[in-house]
Structure 1
Amino acid sequence: MSPRPSAREKMLDSFELLVVADGERAATFDAVAAAAGVSKGGLLYHFPSREALVDGVVDRLASLVDDDIHRMTTAPDGAVDYFIRTSSPPAVVAESPFDRCITAVAHLASSGQWPRAVDALTGMQSRWHEVVLEAVGDPAVARVVSLVSDGLYFGPGHSSSASGAGPDAERAGIDDVIAVLRRLADGR
């Protein structure tokens, strides 16, 4: 059994979920407090301003990126394989804390009000790119891998349910993409 999240973590979870589901404007202090099951005063104790809530989510993203970079650099099949395989988000973003956090920070960044959110996303992409570059050794190939990852993550119709294909067909597709990227990295 995993440990129960702290009240502070529940507040951040609630803020993220509201931003993802309904947009930043809907994530008021009252709505976040209600969703987290705490009083507004309790929320304000931990997050005395809107900026503090945003900073909490951005700091959470930084920690999650650190964990992801570690998994990427220690993946048994290599960084590129890991990066591409994890580029298809789950069908429901709320089920993946990392994807939910990325999506929430992306929504905050798109508002133009939170430069730190923009910096966090830029930093995340730069760190992934550095690991891929180290793995493939060629800046152009590293860029192609990053673009393929972005296409898988943001592209429509990547889930097996949307295409009518089963999980084995989708896996074969990812396997084929990874094989092409390996050949590209090997110069073939």
Structure 2
Amino acid sequence: MSPRPSARESMLDTFETLVVDDGERAATFDAVATAAGVSKGGLLYHFPTREALVDALVDRLTALLDDDVAAMTSAPEGVVDYFVRTSSPAAIPADDPLDRCITAVSNLASSGRHPRALEALTAMQSRWHQVVLDAVGDPAVARVVSLVSDGLYFTPRPFSPVDSGGDPRHDTSIDDVIAVLQRLVPRR
């Protein structure tokens, strides 16, 4: 059984959920306090400003990214396989902490009011790209892998010939796509 989250983490979870589910503007101090079951004063004790909430969420993203990079670099099938496969919506669980945090930070960044959120997303993509580049050794191949990953992540339906809905873009499997990308990797 997982340990119970601290009050601070619980409030941050609530902020994240409100930003994901209802949007950045709906995640007011009052809404966060009410949904977290704490007083507004209790929330302000842990997060004295709106930017403190945003900063804490960005810090969470950084920690989750550290975990993802560790998993990526130690994946048995390699960095490219892990990165592409985990970018497919079919492979991302509905309650995935990294995915939820990315969504929340993206919502904050898109508002234009939180530059640190945009910086965090840019740094995240740069870090993933560097890990891929270190693994493949070719900047062009690393860019193609990153673009494929982004394309999979932002495609609204799962990458699956079974669930293609007649869309010919889904006629190949993710294994086939990864095999093509692996053929692009220069031999060392």
Query: Is TM-score (shorter-chain normalized) higher than 0.5?
Result: yes
Aligned-pair identity (%): 74
CA offsets 1:120-163 (integer angstroms, 9 cap, x no match): 00000000000100111110000000000000000122265853
2:34 paired residue number: 34
1:141 paired residue number: 141
Q: Which runs of 5+ in 1 are unaligned?
A: none
Aligned-residue RMSD, C-alpha: 2.1
CA offsets 1:27-56 (integer angstroms, 9 cap, x no match): 011111122121111111000110000001
What TM-score results when the alignment is normalised by the length of structure 1? 0.90
2:45 paired residue number: 45
Q: Report how many aligned residue pairs link the two structures.
A: 182
Please say if residues 90 and 96 of structure 1, whose CA atoms lie closer than 8 Å, have aligned partners that are also in contact.
Answer: no
Against the structure 1 CA distance between its residues 155 and 29, is the aligned structure 2 distance closer, same or farther, given a 3 Å change threshold? same
What TM-score results when the alignment is normalised by the length of structure 2? 0.90
Distance 1:179 1:80 in 2: 10
CA offsets 1:18-77 (integer angstroms, 9 cap, x no match): 111111110011111122121111111000110000001001001111111111111111
Q: Which protein has the bigger helix share?
A: 1
Please say if residues 17 and 94 of structure 1, whose CA atoms lie closer than 8 Å, have aligned partners that are also in contact.
Answer: no
Distance 1:143 1:38 in 2: 46
Tell me which moved more, 101-110 or 90-99. Answer: 90-99
2:87 paired residue number: 87
